[in-house]
Structure 1
Amino acid sequence: MSTTTDPALGTAAADTAPAVMTRRHRLILTLLLGAQFMLAADFSILNVALPDLGRSLGFALSDLQWVTTAFSLAAAGFTLLFGRVADLFGRRRLFLIGMALLTAASLVGGLADAPGVLLAGRVAQGFATAIVTPAALSLLTTSFPEGPLRARALGLNGAMLSAGFITGAVLGGVLTDFLSWRWAFFINVPVGVLVLVLALSVLKESRAERAGKLDVPGAVTVSGGLLALVYGITAAQSHGWTSAGTLVPLAIGVALLVLFWFIELHTAEPLASLRVLTRRSVRWGNLGGLVTFTMGSGVTFLMTLYLQQVLGYSPLVTGLSFGLLGAAAFVGGTVAPKVIGRLGGPQALVVGLLVQASASFMLAALGGHSKSWIVLVLAGTAVAGFGHISAVVAYMVTATSGLPDSEQGLATGLTTLTQLVGLTLGIPVLSSVATARVHALQATHSAADAVLGGVRLALLVNGGVLVAGALAIGLFFALPGRRTAAVAA
């Protein structure tokens, strides 16, 4: 068997597959990227529509957060479980089941006539996302051999994630203004049906070579722990980080995850192989993913505050202003595989985090009282989008490299979980920083200037966390002398 240099980690890896995409590769890639785009858009499409949705269905203002929280809880709580279920029982089967559920749940949400019905639809959408996302990613990684082809496919996948997220924000505003918030749900129905029809003919079944039993105690503790953890993180946004409503679920979540770890040490067929969980590439790759997603979602939130509460732009214009961010992210997703091929995955991850950090420091220089600051917003968010997606692709390549196909569902489940927790964590953390600063300035500054001060401080914190993450990965994992140990671990 011949060997080539693995662009993910810069080490020798077996490579017997062609370096050119076949027609079937392109069909599979188009289908899976379409599904990922749809899932990413669902994260953001309702953000702009929430006020109209709340008025239409009679949500109290304080209860509107549950429209987002219901989705996040289900999506994050069950992702790791369904990543392993896909390995054992068939990735194509899980993908089809999840897409069918997502399509049906979107129809329920669009037709909802009461808060309870809409929340049920959102829970089902989140549950479907937990099924589809790791199945789609593992189908992607097992369809493309490790090396340039997989890096290219994951680069395009990262670009679609960002494009979907930004398109969702813009599309939510357009649909709400010109049609109704209900179309934020309805738009998924024809897309979901099309994906299902194509998947039946394009995708082949893929699963682990050796059938095993599902680790039920592990599944219960990890799902319960993640549900409690994400609930606690979300509760911090409304109750504060020191309240019992935040600390109790966080403590329960940590306790259940510790119990899960001990269960996995002693069970014959663990839900999550400790060899995967302790592999350096998986551990450091997912740390980078957590940092980039947490800080990336936070910047979008902070710029929304700045554009609307400092510069006075409308929700629709705010959504449209993120278009350049999406375009830059798409470019970043196509360029990232080349950077990974030249530098290696861990090194490219460090570079992506530092570029993303530079954007946060740029944006921290924003001022008020003049809409000309929109130029810096557009430039800074473009740099942020490019760096963010470069880091996303690098962490996905790093965290899924060097693993057998039988563990790709678990590995992609971990990367998906990292993404979901980061998206959930970013806004509460940076919102707390910004809010504390706003309260400190309110007595001596105007409302707009107080918000500006809060946004600036949160952006500096954002950049600092990104730099710290990049330094940790660079010093302890990405240095050339550590690559061989990383692969062997």
Structure 2
Amino acid sequence: MAIDTTHPTTPADRPLGRPRLSRRDRFVLFVLCAAQFMVALDFSVLNVALPVLGADLGMNRSALQWAVTAFALPSGGFLLLFGRIGDLHGRRRLFLTGLALFGAASLLATLAWDPASFLAGRALQGLGAAAIVPTGMSLLTTTFPEGPARDRALGISGTLMSLGFTVGMVAGGVLTDTLGWRSTMGLLALFALLVLPLAPGLLRESRTVERPRLDVPGAVTVTGGLLCLIYALSTAAGHGFGRADVVVALTAGALLLTAFALVESRTAAPLVSLPMLRRRTVAWGNLGGLVTFSMMSTVVFVLTLYLQDVLRLSAFETGLVFGVQGVLSVVAGSYTPKVIGRFGARRTLIGSLAGQGALVTALLGLNTHGWSVGLATAAVSLASMCHLGAIISYGLTVTSGVPDEQQGLATGLVTSTQQIGITVGIPLLGVLATTSTDLLSGVRTVLGLDAAIVLAAAVLVALGLRSGREGSGAVEAEPVGSR
């Protein structure tokens, strides 16, 4: 049976106004968003510096993707587990622990003396991020009550997370050219050092009231499954699917994730609510979010290699290209709520995905000529505007029509989709460029696959939500397969 989405408390039905926040609320929002911004910054600040870093530490081009994957494995693999531990034993406590670990790991990466010490620092950064992101989002949703205040807080958080990725590209270029690649990791250590002292006095402890037991079988299977899957995809893209470790990892990942689904269907306090995933808006909205995050991060990664290694731009010049992207992302963030108010979250999500895919397709025209800089700047900047539209609209699509008592589950899935999306894109496709004998050909291959995946997702989301109806931006939250 379809759920009535005309109820005035559903998130997508509420006006997208600008509610007044108290002074303390603004400080809390600043701390939580600063931490999320810092994590997003970490996903990109090193990208521009990779060629310089590789030369300094003795890492060849095919090994550079592990600078990204070493962070991606723990940040994606432990996300759900740490989120649940925070729910049970204290979100504030785990958030502060994650911040401290992230800062110490950033210092280790800054002082790295060889590839092993650097990758160890990156892995510990990822572990810290896995604690910061879900607990930070939970602290945000428990601090700001259901309604316009929470909508505004979630909108600011989502915009800053996307903006952080872009700002990282600019900052990475400036810092690498002026102070060297180590300063990019030093910036993250400094960021953590500034945020950590402010958080304890502002954040209040938060945990679930019922305090159910930790779903240990679910935690073990999903964490192991994600780790195996990310490792397999990262390795297979560069060495093929025939390697023994890839086959073993893929098989183990599939078995563990299947076991996770079985465990979650039988446990009283699951890490992921399977009935929630059967809602049309939740299932298809999260698919759109997963694709837009993973594919846009891949575009930025391969364009960085293209601009520096093919067109021979400096790290600073490469950062300026992505600076334009950042400015237009801010513009998109201010106008997207108006677009959603007129056309609805579902149509905005579908249109944004289609626009992102079309503009990435335009990047297939890149070549060795200087005018390609203009094409890259224009296409990636406009694609980022569509990307930000997809981010905001998918969050509203997922939470639309969900009862108030289940909003925490819905927003938790939104957070997981964001983090996993940013995590898997580069290991899945980006390595095809780093391991190609002809970098330009490899970049075009990645961009073509990227565009095809985004456009296919737009079609799938449109078909999946075809029975939805909209009113004031709401979409029907009918369970998948209910017809």
Q: TM class, shorter-chain normalised?
A: 0.7 to 0.9
8 Å contact kept, 1:234–1:424: no
- Name the amino acid aligned to 2:211: A
8 Å contact kept, 2:33–2:157: yes
> Which residue of 1 is the match for residue 3 of structure 2?
none
In 1, Cα distance between the equivalents of 2:270 and 2:66?
33
Going from structure 1 to structure 2, the CA distance change for 1:138 and 1:367 (only over 3 Å counts) comes to same
- Name the amino acid aligned to 2:334: T
Going from structure 1 to structure 2, the CA distance change for 1:476 and 1:367 (only over 3 Å counts) comes to closer
> Which residue of 1 is the match for residue 53 of structure 2?
53
> Which residue of 2 is the match for residue 486 of structure 1?
478
> Which residue of 2 is the match for residue 129 of structure 1?
129
In 1, Cα distance between the equivalents of 2:320 and 2:98?
31
Q: What's the offset of the Cα at 1:412?
A: 4.5
* Residue 40 of structure 2 corresponds to residue 6 of structure 1: no
8 Å contact kept, 2:218–2:263: yes
Going from structure 1 to structure 2, the CA distance change for 1:452 and 1:358 (only over 3 Å counts) comes to same
* Residue 135 of structure 2 corresponds to residue 143 of structure 1: no
> Which residue of 1 is the match for residue 210 of structure 2?
210
In 2, Cα distance between the equivalents of 1:60 and 1:309?
13
Q: What's the offset of the Cα at 1:235?
A: 0.9
8 Å contact kept, 2:10–2:401: no
In 2, Cα distance between the equivalents of 1:55 and 1:305?
14
In 2, Cα distance between the equivalents of 1:480 and 1:311?
46
In 2, Cα distance between the equivalents of 1:452 and 1:113?
32
> Which residue of 2 is the match for residue 315 of structure 1?
315
> Which residue of 1 is the match for residue 398 of structure 2?
399
Deviations 1:252-289 (A, max 9, x none): 11110100111122223323232333333322221011
Q: What's the offset of the Cα at 1:333?
A: 2.2
Q: What's the offset of the Cα at 1:216?
A: 0.8
* Residue 470 of structure 2 corresponds to residue 466 of structure 1: no
Going from structure 1 to structure 2, the CA distance change for 1:154 and 1:102 (only over 3 Å counts) comes to same
> Which residue of 2 is the match for residue 371 of structure 1?
370
Going from structure 1 to structure 2, the CA distance change for 1:369 and 1:110 (only over 3 Å counts) comes to closer
In 1, Cα distance between the equivalents of 2:18 and 2:166?
34
Going from structure 1 to structure 2, the CA distance change for 1:376 and 1:180 (only over 3 Å counts) comes to closer
In 2, Cα distance between the equivalents of 1:294 and 1:186?
26
8 Å contact kept, 1:224–1:253: yes
Going from structure 1 to structure 2, the CA distance change for 1:416 and 1:480 (only over 3 Å counts) comes to closer
Query: Helix, strand or coil for the counterpart of 1:197?
Result: coil
Going from structure 1 to structure 2, the CA distance change for 1:413 and 1:54 (only over 3 Å counts) comes to farther
> Which residue of 2 is the match for residue 263 of structure 1?
263
Query: Helix, strand or coil for the counterpart of 2:8?
Result: strand
**Structure 2 gaps, min length 5:** 1-5
Deviations 1:58-91 (A, max 9, x none): 4465544333222111100100111222222222
Going from structure 1 to structure 2, the CA distance change for 1:360 and 1:57 (only over 3 Å counts) comes to closer
TM-score (norm 1): 0.86
> Which residue of 2 is the match for residue 346 of structure 1?
346
> Which residue of 2 is the match for residue 105 of structure 1?
105
**Structure 1 gaps, min length 5:** 440-446
* Residue 277 of structure 2 corresponds to residue 277 of structure 1: yes
Q: What's the offset of the Cα at 1:232?
A: 0.9
In 1, Cα distance between the equivalents of 2:469 and 2:279?
17
> Which residue of 2 is the match for residue 293 of structure 1?
293
Q: What's the offset of the Cα at 1:327?
A: 1.4
Query: Helix, strand or coil for the counterpart of 1:371?
Result: coil
8 Å contact kept, 1:297–1:427: yes
Deviations 1:72-120 (A, max 9, x none): 1110010011122222222222211111111122122223334333222
Going from structure 1 to structure 2, the CA distance change for 1:293 and 1:241 (only over 3 Å counts) comes to farther
- Name the amino acid aligned to 2:296: G
- Name the amino acid aligned to 2:398: A
Query: Helix, strand or coil for the counterpart of 2:296?
Result: helix
Deviations 1:216-271 (A, max 9, x none): 11111110001001111111232124443333212211110100111122223323
Q: What's the offset of the Cα at 1:407?
A: 5.9
Going from structure 1 to structure 2, the CA distance change for 1:375 and 1:116 (only over 3 Å counts) comes to closer
Query: Helix, strand or coil for the counterpart of 2:465?
Result: helix
> Which residue of 2 is the match for residue 254 of structure 1?
254
> Which residue of 2 is the match for residue 475 of structure 1?
463
- Name the amino acid aligned to 1:469: A
Q: What's the offset of the Cα at 1:353?
A: 0.9
In 1, Cα distance between the equivalents of 2:24 and 2:423?
36
> Which residue of 2 is the match for residue 383 of structure 1?
382
Give the stretch that moved more between structures: 422-431 or 152-161: 422-431
Going from structure 1 to structure 2, the CA distance change for 1:196 and 1:429 (only over 3 Å counts) comes to closer
In 2, Cα distance between the equivalents of 1:466 and 1:106?
33
In 2, Cα distance between the equivalents of 1:338 and 1:148?
15
- Name the amino acid aligned to 1:205: E
In 2, Cα distance between the equivalents of 1:333 and 1:485?
25
- Name the amino acid aligned to 2:262: F
> Which residue of 2 is the match for residue 336 of structure 1?
336
8 Å contact kept, 2:67–2:119: yes
8 Å contact kept, 2:401–2:476: no
8 Å contact kept, 1:106–1:188: yes
Give the stretch that moved more between structures: 466-475 or 44-53: 44-53
Matches within 5 A, 1:129-208: 129-208=129-208
Going from structure 1 to structure 2, the CA distance change for 1:136 and 1:478 (only over 3 Å counts) comes to farther
Give the stretch that moved more between structures: 146-155 or 251-260: 146-155
Percent identical: 47
Going from structure 1 to structure 2, the CA distance change for 1:131 and 1:210 (only over 3 Å counts) comes to same
In 1, Cα distance between the equivalents of 2:396 and 2:236?
32
Going from structure 1 to structure 2, the CA distance change for 1:358 and 1:20 (only over 3 Å counts) comes to farther
In 2, Cα distance between the equivalents of 1:176 and 1:122?
18
8 Å contact kept, 2:19–2:152: no
Going from structure 1 to structure 2, the CA distance change for 1:372 and 1:309 (only over 3 Å counts) comes to same
Query: Helix, strand or coil for the counterpart of 2:268?
Result: coil
Q: How many residues align?
A: 471
TM-score (norm 2): 0.87
Q: RMSD of the alignment, in Å?
A: 3.1
* Residue 416 of structure 2 corresponds to residue 417 of structure 1: yes
